[in-house]
Structure 1
Amino acid sequence: MSSNLSATPVLITVRSLSAGAASGRLTCGGLDVACALGRGGITRDKREGDGAAPAGRFALLTVYYRADRVARPRTRLPVTELHPWMGWCDAPDHPRYNHLVTRPFTASHEAMWRDDHLYDIVVVLDCNLRPAVRGRGSAIFFHLARPGYPPTEGCVAVKEQDMRHILERCGPGAAICID
């Protein structure tokens, strides 16, 4: 592990470029990079399907990655390989709402094993998880951005190189503040 792996909890700050903007700036220590936000900008009243990133401070919980595509991220956060059977329930009425599920899965869910590269590295944020409140948003992640930083469905996204630099600094207590 590199000397960049600090024992001090890291705070990542995300701000939109303007009210309702789907793009922003992410800062982490001395790093200041572009990021994509939800197509609905940032909201203080998150609802399932609104396409907005939720305002608030959220712990970084688990890093997932596609071992068939990218190297394991260097971080002190828990890291798990993604597999084709992994999904994330986005059905508000289901008992597994906003949690990892095993595919095939009959209720509405998002595949974690994607054809695009957005989840080649993806971090689960502690947003509406404990407990998951029906309809208050699911699958709120910190993940990789598409080229050109088009809007996400409600997540924060950065390019892979920036994600790797950020995760190298992160360990227990790391959080993202979306404002």
Structure 2
Amino acid sequence: MNLRQTKISGVVIVERAVFKDHRGAFSRLYCEQELSAVIGERRIVQINHSFTNTKGAVRGMHYQRPPHAEMKLIRCLKGCVWDVAVDLRADSPTFLQWHAEELSAENHKMMVIPEGCAHGFQVLESESELLYLHTAFYQPSSEAGLRYDDPRLAITWPLPVADLSARDQQHALIASDFSGIKL
């Protein structure tokens, strides 16, 4: 596994080796030893899966507040998505900046999103599926989100937004006095 740091500290792209032969292909999804530089002492405690029908749909921008903040490792199993991480950490030099990466079944990339960052994605191919590895259990009382179209973030979505959940439509814009998440 090759680990590539992005401009946002802790947001890492994992590029995995794929071994192909006449039968198909094999690749490692997760290796604690190879990812130890990123994962540290954390444990994967929950694995989620999403399936999104509509090309152009946006899911996010979601995060969990402390004390239930979580690191996520995201992998696209089918289709293709524009995966986005937003830095919400107080005193971070990249506060309110975002990084996006195309994740697809074809490119085998995985994105690591640390605690204190929001996550969302836009579906670039219909019927896309994502696998999420989490370092904290889902806690509804700690759930939070950002508007996908918040002007303070100015995320560049590659397609017009075709579908958005009622919950994601209700996220408020970032308040002018928001100073970030303290971990």
TM-score range, shorter chain: under 0.3
Larger Rg: 2
TM-score between the two structures when normalised by the length of structure 2 = 0.24
Higher-strand-fraction structure = 2
TM-score between the two structures when normalised by the length of structure 1 = 0.24
